[in-house]
């Protein structure tokens, strides 16, 4: 039953975010922020597919323990694409609120993203092993969490300042995604049930994508 329900959930999620992303790219009508948002959604779905598709196949066949390499490689790719997702979201923020300059802020985003990707690529992560060390799971998520906190602060401040109702909850979707994700990183290996928090984490990302989509539908028809 778990295999069927989780697989159906993953299929709906992947098809939805990639489809919405493509619709945003096509329907942005030259609006760069929504084209970026669409690319962001496609990167999210395509990156997650590298982990979720092998996981669904493993659950529906001989079990996760027999697909350690595929799952580990997929998790590594997903970790990198999620970082790119937040870099793109930073540029959505710049486009939406007409931010010029702020080179120091941009440098901070690239430094945190680059450090996260570098840490993800280190062999000490042992992505292809069934006994990947928790310590490196923590190390690589430190710059990622700092990047997330930075994006949360930027959207929270800007939506309040500009009275932006369309994007007013986007900071909350990121808070929720990290709030559900961090316990999984820390405790899922010892308490497997905590892994179910990935479902509401995924829903938070779908909410993020829908915020962009509905904003585009409203603003690009004017």
Q: Give residue-wise pLDDT tens across range 44-93.
A: 999 999 999 998 888 888 887 888 999 999 999 999 999 999 999 999 99
d(CA 129, CA 110): 29
d(CA 45, CA 69): 21
For residue 201, what pLDDT is reported? 94
Query: If you search the block for the tokens 């190390």, which residue do you land on?
Result: 139
DSSP assignment of 67-131 equals -HHHHHHHHHHHHHHHHHHHHHHHHHHHHHTT----HHHHHHHHHHHHHHHHHHTSGGG-TTSTT
Of the two residues 189 and 95, the one the predictor is more confident about is 95
CB 216 within 8 A of CB 37: yes
3-state secondary structure of 7: helix
Residue 193: band (very low, low, confident or very high) from pLDDT cuts 50, 70, 90: confident
Q: Give residue-wise pLDDT tens across range 121-167.
A: 999 999 998 888 999 999 999 999 999 999 999 999 999 999 999 99
For residue 64, what pLDDT is reported? 78
d(CA 4, CA 12): 12
DSSP assignment of 154-214 equals HHHHHHHHHT-STTTTHHHHHHHHHHHHHHHHHHTTTSGGGGGGHHHHHHHHHHHHHHHHH
For residue 222, what pLDDT is reported? 56
pTM: 0.93
- The conformation of residue 18, written as its DSSP 8-state character, comes to H
Q: Kindly give, in sequence order, each residue whose CB lies less than 8 Å from that of residue 2, ignoring residues fewer than 6 positions away.
A: 59
d(CA 67, CA 127): 12
Residue 34: band (very low, low, confident or very high) from pLDDT cuts 50, 70, 90: very high
CB 10 within 8 A of CB 56: yes
Query: If you search the block for the tokens 């329907």, which residue do you land on?
Result: 27
Residue range 26-54: average pLDDT? 93
pLDDT exceeds cutoff 80 at 221:
no
Q: Kindly give, in sequence order, each residue whose CB lies less than 8 Å from that of residue 149, ignoring residues fewer than 6 positions away.
A: none
pLDDT exceeds cutoff 80 at 117:
yes
């Amino acid at each position: 039953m778990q295999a069927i329900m989780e697989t159906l959930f993953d299929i709906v999620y992947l098809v939805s975010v990639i489809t919405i992303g493509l619709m945003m790219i096509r329907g942005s009508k030259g609006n760069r922020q929504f084209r970026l948002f669409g690319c962001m959604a496609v990167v999210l779905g395509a990156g997650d597919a590298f982990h979720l598709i092998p996981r669904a196949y493993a659950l529906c066949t001989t079990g996760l323990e027999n697909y350690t390499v595929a799952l580990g490689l997929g998790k590594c790719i997903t970790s990198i694409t999620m970082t790119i997702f937040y870099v793109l979201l930073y540029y959505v923020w710049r486009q939406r609120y007409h931010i010029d300059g702020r080179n120091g802020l941009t440098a901070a985003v690239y430094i945190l993203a680059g450090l996260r990707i570098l840490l993800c690529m280190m062999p000490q992560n042992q992505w292809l092993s069934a006994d990947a060390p928790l310590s490196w799971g923590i190390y690589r998520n430190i710059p990622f969490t700092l990047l997330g906190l930075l994006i949360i602060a930027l959207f929270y401040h800007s939506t309040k300042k500009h009275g932006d109702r369309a994007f007013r909850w986007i900071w909350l979707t990121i808070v929720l995604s990290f709030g559900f994700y961090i316990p999984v990183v820390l405790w899922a290996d010892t308490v497997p049930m905590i892994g179910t928090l990935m479902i509401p984490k995924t829903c938070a990302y779908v909410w993020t994508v829908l915020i962009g989509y509905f904003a585009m539908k409203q603003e690009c028809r004017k």
